[in-house]
A and B are shown apart, each in its own frame.
Chain A
């Protein structure tokens, strides 16, 4: 069985330079193939997803009772700090970069990314970030305990007095992660602008490519602010400067501006590619063109623009004057217009189609519904008077977990299932996929919905202990959290067993329209022997028109 598969796939696994490993070992090498790098990103980040999930379950274990009685308060604080940091810097960012890495060159008809070595270098910084983050558990004083925002002055406090402490390692990790992301962003933007196949105009690019472009542009304008803030904070800790140190005249609120100037747009870096995934999947499983494709595509760039002028909504309750609160309330709410356009477009795409509820579509549809819910609570949070009550409460925690789990993780799962046959040449098990979906949906609802009432009642976020009036909702949330932990098991089982011995999938098991589906599964090194010549817009479902003019040439590509 195993022999057979290796033989069958042999032709695809040649490397572009001599002496490179041509088997599973290539995933542990400095490969410059964007498909290998994409899978490296996805698998590495999934491991950190499990680590971050473990931290979350310790948090939920502590919060299942009102008293702080499972772990010490310092450990609890380290847990939520590392949970947030790992989930963002080592899971959502890299896994989406991984998907984009795998898909963008295929979708635009390129043989690889514009800078393959830069691409590999950017990936190999991710394990370094991971080692630094995990290593911080073993330095005196333990890992950072100042939350993933690392607001000074708390982040400047150093109880052990050691120069090498958890906060310093955390800042180094964040800075390296930022450099990696900037390298990735330069590569993606260049690839999308310069490497498109003949005929692949901007308005023939799949919506996913548009969203990746929109997201990576944010990285380019936003990350420098965060990196600068992180460097100044690092200097305050190790070099005795006082950018943010109030006792020497520094301004701690200034850090909040640096931090959120990037970290709010970062939410769109995360969610835009997921919007792209929804835009790709809805047409395939509804057998209809994406409704209003051009508007959907352009709305991504509008979101990019607006994302840069909303950051103060994280600071309504901070030292923010009234006029600033009002200004940023208006800009924040305006973001709901371009996102609304996307949501309505997906709904209209599904409406009147011929729906097939395979696992990817289940995840995509549930992701959209969760996103609508998160969007509504987001508008509530954008309203200054409401935010003054619920800011820094569990209402916010519930809201953004509906975004990062209910929407983003659902979208990532949808994408992994959808493109799994392309990546591996084999089909996943549909039954296990459905089990995974229902467990994930139930766990998400049980975990994150009860956070909203707890927050409205006044439960602050980041607490290790709380008043007994909040206990009911926290027990529900904790049960949901453990269920979410459990829900990863059928997924892992499915992925591993189908990759080893799943059914052969063929080139295009979903009968989807797109360049990646015209070539073999998995695609050969350098993807296209003959570059495709694109002659139509994407999503030509029901139109019976060819996507490329040289179909026969593509089909006879080796492999």
Chain B
């Protein structure tokens, strides 16, 4: 009897472990393509959590399921079960194991978070806050930046910093050109395998810069400039979405991110610099100005969207169509 129990438990554990490892591998397929250095780290962490979570879920649900199958009261059995009120050893074990697990998970997450800083920027978010902690934490790290990174970021590229302007409801990207020219675009172009520094600002309300393929997100706060740094690693076109609810046309506030070779990026920037600024298509303004909405029920009054942004470069394709 005892032997049978041990064999059953060992067998169940092996099966659960295999199922968990399989789920952990499946987890990678649930994400958009890995297009930044940070995304690989995050996907590995998520896969680990999925495997661990699957094991715990199967353990709890399996035990309950076992009870449902094998511990049912007979139709006319009105007796009670054994009056077991607890088991100190078992209770200590199931307090200690979760405690150890969360320490492990938190430590692993902490390590990934640090690594994200090492791989990409030293500090992913650098808030300009007039607090003392900025000097204590952020400044020294910023100073050590150029030495610690082997491929000196965006060296030779004219636009190390790109200013991101968010407003209700448009994204405008500002590239510094020669002679202080402000080259503007409604599409975010980035050179691949280079560290990107964004300066995030908002004209009105909270917005959120979110690029799922990069697994990165940062709220944008009015009256603050937030530095945001990362490294795209895969050429392609990706989606940038507003992730912090910003009012009526929030869902329409999307833009494309084009990651291209440094050469292509350079020529795009040179081309954009020579274009005369013109109004870009803006989904929010377009919908607002359309007298009869396509919707069945008319809405309430809204904050009017800003007029379509006037930029040097705007993609020919409407920014609300799916990425290529």
Contacts and interface: CB of A to CB of B under 8 A. Distances in A.
Contacts of A511: 78
A290 B210 CA distance: 46
Contacts of B116: 385
A154 B247 contact: yes
Nearest to A391: B217
B314 interface: no
Of B56, B85, B129, B223, which is in contact with the most chain A CB atoms at under 10 Å from its CB? Answer: B85
Contacts of A286: 67, 71, 81
Contacts of A121: none
B212 to A, nearest CB: 3
Nearest to B68: A355
B5 interface: no
Given A388-B42, A460-B210, A352 B218 contact: no
B137 interface: yes
Contact of A353 (B67, B78, B124, B298): B67
A247 B222 contact: yes
Contacts of B251: 68, 73, 460, 462-466
B32 interface: yes
Given A72-B297, A386-B49, A337 B245 contact: no
B90 interface: yes
Contacts of B72: 354-357
A295 interface: yes
A203 interface: no
Contacts of B299: 71-75, 142
Interface string B91-113: 10011001100100110011011
Interface string B16-38: 00000000000000111000001
B80 to A, nearest CB: 4
A69 B303 CA distance: 20
A466 B53 CA distance: 29
Contact of A292 (B64, B67, B86, B133): B86
Interface string B200-234: 00001110101011011111011110100000000
B151 interface: no
A393 B243 CA distance: 8
A60 interface: no
A386 B46 contact: yes
Contacts of B296: 69-71
A502 interface: no
Contact of A458 (B38, B105, B205, B239): B239
A539 B49 CA distance: 36
A348 B204 CA distance: 54
A287 B81 contact: yes
Interface string A364-391: 0100110011001101100111101101
B86 A295 contact: yes
A320 B239 CA distance: 24
Contact of B109 (A153, A252, A383): A383
A249 B110 CA distance: 34
B133 A323 contact: yes
Interface in A75-115: 75, 77-78
Contact of B245 (A154, A289, A336, A453): A154
A340 interface: yes
Nearest to A462: B245
Interface string B172-216: 000000000000000000000000000000001110101011011
B303 A68 contact: no
A140 B301 CA distance: 8
Interface stretch (A7-15, A262-270, A327-335, A478-486): A327-335
A149 to B, nearest CB: 8
Contacts of A503: none
B123 interface: yes
A295 B91 contact: yes
B310 interface: no
Contacts, number: 316
A480 B66 CA distance: 28
A354 B71 contact: yes
Contacts of A461: 245
A151 B246 CA distance: 9
Contact of A334 (B66, B102, B300): B102
A252 B221 contact: yes
Contact of B300 (A69, A75, A146, A457): A75
B116 to A, nearest CB: 6
Contact of A388 (B30, B56, B206, B216): B216
B41 A385 contact: yes
A71 B64 contact: no
B118 to A, nearest CB: 13
Contact of B81 (A151, A323, A391, A541): A541
B84 to A, nearest CB: 6
B243 A388 contact: no
A67 B283 CA distance: 12
A240 interface: no
B222 A72 contact: no
B45 interface: yes
Contacts of B6: none
A57 interface: no
B212 A383 contact: no
B133 to A, nearest CB: 7
Contacts of B254: 467
B49 A379 contact: yes
A490 B127 CA distance: 54
Nearest to B107: A330
A163 to B, nearest CB: 15
Contacts of A71: 295-297, 299
A159 B303 contact: yes
A345 to B, nearest CB: 8
A383 B105 contact: yes
Given A74-B302, A336-B98, A344-B94, A151 B30 contact: no
Given A77-B248, A352-B67, A456-B30, A386 B42 contact: yes
B217 A317 contact: yes
B123 A340 contact: no
A376 B46 contact: no
A74 B53 contact: no
B264 interface: no
A365 B322 contact: no
Interface string A284-318: 00111111111100000000000000000000011
Interface string A528-543: 0000000000011111
Nearest to A326: B110
A350 interface: yes
B241 A333 contact: no
Contacts of A18: none
A353 B77 CA distance: 12
Interface string A396-433: 00000000000000000000000000000000000000
B312 to A, nearest CB: 26
Of B83, B109, B223, which is in contact with the most chain A CB atoms at under 10 Å from its CB? Answer: B109
A348 B90 contact: yes
Contacts of A333: 102, 105-106
A463 B109 contact: no
B219 A369 contact: no
A69 B67 CA distance: 48
A541 B67 CA distance: 18
B140 interface: no
CB-based closest 4 A-B pairs: A458-B212, A72-B299, A74-B299, A463-B251
6 contacts: A72-B299, A347-B60, A347-B64, A355-B71, A377-B53, A465-B251
Given A72-B297, A291-B84, 11 more contacts: A141-B300, A146-B247, A154-B206, A157-B303, A288-B80, A319-B219, A350-B71, A369-B61, A384-B113, A460-B208, A462-B251
